[in-house]
A and B are shown apart, each in its own frame.
Chain A
Amino acid sequence: MAPERQYALLLEPLLSQAAGYARSILRNRDDAADAVQQAALRGLERIRTFDESRPFKGWWFAILRHCCIDMIRSARAMHTEGLEDFDAAADAPPNFADWEQLSTAIGRLPEHHREILQLRYFADLSYRELAESLSIPQGTVMSRLHLARKALQMQMIGGET
């Protein structure tokens, strides 16, 4: 089977999670769909260099993460309304009742905690996939994820009091 065809088959079951993950970062459904579309094409361009011994999901979500980061940078450069919404959301009180509030609370954490929590919860990556996506060892994934969870728990306690 051609790598491009195989790529399409591997990508198909990831799309809903990918959209949720991108939405958690970009906070806008249309922007999330655009980011997934961009990542799908960017991955297609690189599929022939993909090492099949590595987890595809972790590899592809790293591409999607970079697409989301690029979109945020572009939005900041253009000072769009979407970015204003993104910044304003950071002031909302967290009660974790829905994804936006959870995403807001995660957004308040340091970048390395934010990244790993978004990939774990919104993209449902395994530790091996997280290691691949973030280019860190699996042992680091375990400790970083635990610390990130504790930090988020602290926010939850703070939000409920």
Chain B
Amino acid sequence: MNPIDPAELSAYLDDELSPARAREVEAAMRDSPALRAELDALLEADKKWRAAVRSASFRPRIRLRNAATPKVSPYRAAGALALLVAARVLPKLGSAWDVELIVNGITLVIVMVWVIRMTRGDAPVASA
């Protein structure tokens, strides 16, 4: 068996040794109270530090612009739709009442897109 490097005690503590090497470290500790005492000191400190770091974490609110699914701007979509409707319908209109109806319809579409955008947000990854 190769002698135990002190750094391997840290790796043993972190479960980063191969199973075979971990067994060798365990065997060496059975034969060496000093090695065992060193691991115990590392374990005690590790436990204390891990307990201390838990209170540092919190859930940040993160947004990814242009993330996930690339989106067409709702305003542009509404504008394009309004132009399309206007180009097809306006030439056929005969009365002011029809024009008013179309204008109200386009306004309604724009307002709906705006409401959808306000309620949906910008692709949040996580929220607080």
Which residues of chain A from 22 to 69 have any CB-CB distance to chain B below 8 Å in the complex?
Answer: 23-24, 29, 32-33, 36-37, 40-41, 44
B58 and A149: CB pair below 8 A?
A: no
Interface string of B38-82 (1 = CB under 8 A from A): 000110011011101111111111111111111000000000000
Q: How far does the Cβ of B56 sit from chain A's closest Cβ, in whole Å?
A: 4
A90 contacts partner chain B, Cβ-Cβ < 8 Å: no
- CB nearest to A138 among chain B residues: B16
Q: How far does the Cβ of B41 sit from chain A's closest Cβ, in whole Å?
A: 7
Interface string of A1-24 (1 = CB under 8 A from B): 010110110011001111111011
A122 and B48: CB pair below 8 A?
A: no
Q: How many A-B residue pairs have CB under 8 A?
A: 120
Q: What chain A residues lie within 8 Å of B49 (beta carbons)? A: 96, 102, 121, 152
Q: What chain A residues lie within 8 Å of B55 (beta carbons)? A: 98-99
Interface residues of A, Cβ cutoff 8 Å to B? 2, 4-5, 7-8, 11-12, 15-21, 23-24, 29, 32-33, 36-37, 40-41, 44, 96-99, 101-103, 120-122, 126-127, 142-143, 145-147, 149, 152-153, 156
B68 and A8: CB pair below 8 A?
A: yes
Contact-residue bracket for chain B: 35 or more
Q: What chain A residues lie within 8 Å of B11 (beta carbons)? A: 127, 142, 146
Closest 10 CB pairs of A and B: A20-B57, A99-B56, A20-B56, A146-B7, A146-B10, A33-B60, A102-B52, A143-B7, A16-B57, A19-B60
Q: What chain A residues lie within 8 Å of B53 (beta carbons)? A: 20, 24, 99, 102, 121-122
Known: A8-B125, A12-B126. Contact between A101 and B62, CB under 8 A? Answer: no
Q: How far does the Cβ of B11 sit from chain A's closest Cβ, in whole Å?
A: 5
Q: How far does the Cβ of A140 sit from chain B's closest Cβ, in whole Å?
A: 10
Q: List 26 A-B contacts (CB under 8 A).
A: A4-B66, A4-B67, A8-B64, A8-B125, A15-B59, A19-B57, A20-B53, A20-B56, A20-B58, A23-B57, A24-B53, A33-B58, A33-B60, A33-B61, A36-B60, A37-B62, A40-B64, A41-B65, A44-B64, A96-B52, A103-B56, A120-B14, A122-B53, A126-B16, A145-B14, A146-B10
Q: What chain B residues lie within 8 Å of A152 (beta carbons)? A: 45, 49
B24 contacts partner chain A, Cβ-Cβ < 8 Å: no
B19 contacts partner chain A, Cβ-Cβ < 8 Å: no
Which of A15, A23, A153 interacts with B62 by CB under 8 Å? Answer: A15
Q: How far does the Cβ of A31 sit from chain B's closest Cβ, in whole Å?
A: 11
In the bound complex, CA of A12 to CA of B63 (Å):
11
